[in-house]
Structure 1
Amino acid sequence: MASYQQLDDWLVANRPDYHRLLQPPATHSELAAAATVYCCTLPEEFAELYRWHNGQQSGDFTELLLNLTFMTLRESMATHTMFTDMAPSEGWPSEHWQPAWLPFLDNGGGDHLCYVVRDGHGFTRGQVIWFDHEGGEPHEVVHESLLDFRRDLYDRMLNDRLEIPG
């Protein structure tokens, strides 16, 4: 299994500049604020991700992997609120955005990897899905859990498959 410590160790050894961008772990009060904004009890798996690091430095677009940056809780909450507020006013169909989807990785263009906190719209609690803000393509399951995401990330690290420019 890939632990968060293994991810940290690899980043320190192989991408120290990126590792320095990572923020300290989220505090209890930051996680509580997120639970309030998301209107749910944060699943342990999601809270654990943010207890590892509270995203990367805001405003820096250095990718963690695949042209995706690691959002801070503040960025995630702002994005979640924006999409949740926009969905009805823009007339989005319910399958396009659900408040049960918590964004945590961002491509800078409005697309995200999201963690699913409640079953619905073809997705199961705990899955990681790709959210395409344009809605032209159906959202897809990328990983069955954040543990699977973490394992895949570590495998990509070890096998030089992060697919970042440079």
Structure 2
Amino acid sequence: MPTFPTLITRLDALLRQYRPAYHAALRPPVSAAAVAAFEAEFDLRLPAGLRQWLDWHDGQPPELFEALVGMYSWPSLEDMAATMRINRELLADGDFAPYWWQPAWLPFLTNGSGDHLCLDPEGTFTGRPGQLIEHWHDGPERTVVFPSLSAWLAAVVQAYEAAVVGQKRLTDEQAEDLELNSPAGFPLEFRAE
């Protein structure tokens, strides 16, 4: 598998060429001060891949509703922090069933309706740190969709590269229709109950 920075470079080139308006609207890279504040607030260290992801761009602005891929858009680090604050508070108040939310989950993608794709540094359900897990705000299904952020990004790049063949541009609707191929053995289905 290509290195994570190589995959980011490939995705950057794809977005720049085939979704130029989306690419141009992405936020600048996250600042070191913002990362330090985030890590201090949540008492954790961002995994290297997620840090590289945010060093590329700090997500998309809230007024940009188009998806990065499939149903998911890309929140900023501050938006991630807001989601974590709310869910940690609800967890602390006893409002969640077991595994509804875990304090270390990093919600790096959102569908804008309270659902997230989270990087799970602890390996909830499987014991595999670094996996990506779907969190539904109103349902107990928890699906581990990729074993790592690198595997997910490789699938994103492959989906984009397949979709742009013979295209001059990729519409926002086409980006929403992109389906990612999970590696063998995934997805893994669990329930937060």
CA contact (8 A) 2:130 2:149 kept: yes
Name the CA distance, whole Å, in 1 between partners of 2:160 and 2:67.
13
Q: String of CA shifts for 1:11-47, please: whole Å, max 9, x gaps.
A: 0100001101211111111111121233212111111
SS at match of 1:25: coil
Match of 2:169 in 1: none
Match of 2:176 in 1: 164
CA contact (8 A) 1:37 1:81 kept: no
Matching of residue 143 in structure 1 with residue 146 in structure 2: yes
What is the aligned length? 164
Name the CA distance, whole Å, in 1 between partners of 2:66 and 2:15.
13
- Is the alpha carbon distance of 1:15 and 1:113 closer, same or farther for their aligned partners in structure 2, counting shifts above 3 Å? same
Match of 1:131 in 2: 135
Q: String of CA shifts for 1:59-95, please: whole Å, max 9, x gaps.
A: 3211101121101000000001111111232521221
CA contact (8 A) 1:114 1:131 kept: yes
Correspondent of 2:72 among 68, 73, 91: 68
TM-score, normalising length: structure 2: 0.79
Correspondent of 1:18 among 16, 19, 22: 22
TM-score, normalising length: structure 1: 0.91
Matching of residue 3 in structure 1 with residue 7 in structure 2: yes
Give the gaps of 5 or more residues in structure 1: none
Matching of residue 77 in structure 1 with residue 89 in structure 2: no
For 1:141, give the aligned amino acid. V
- How many angstroms does 1:5 deviate by? 1.2
Matches within 5 A, 1:110-121: 110-121=114-125
Q: String of CA shifts for 1:120-146, please: whole Å, max 9, x gaps.
A: 443521111111111332x11111111
SS at match of 2:106: strand
Q: Which runs of 4+ in 1 moved over 4 A?
A: none
Give the gaps of 5 or more residues in structure 2: 165-173, 178-193
- Is the alpha carbon distance of 1:70 and 1:3 closer, same or farther for their aligned partners in structure 2, counting shifts above 3 Å? same
Name the CA distance, whole Å, in 2 between partners of 1:39 and 1:117.
13
Which entry has the higher C-alpha Rg, 1 or 2? 2
Name the CA distance, whole Å, in 2 between partners of 1:155 and 1:98.
30
Match of 2:31 in 1: 27
- How many angstroms does 1:163 deviate by? 4.6
CA contact (8 A) 1:104 1:114 kept: yes
Name the CA distance, whole Å, in 1 between partners of 2:36 and 2:128.
23
The alignment-based identity, stated in percent, is 30
Name the CA distance, whole Å, in 2 between partners of 1:123 and 1:66.
27
- How many angstroms does 1:49 deviate by? 1.0
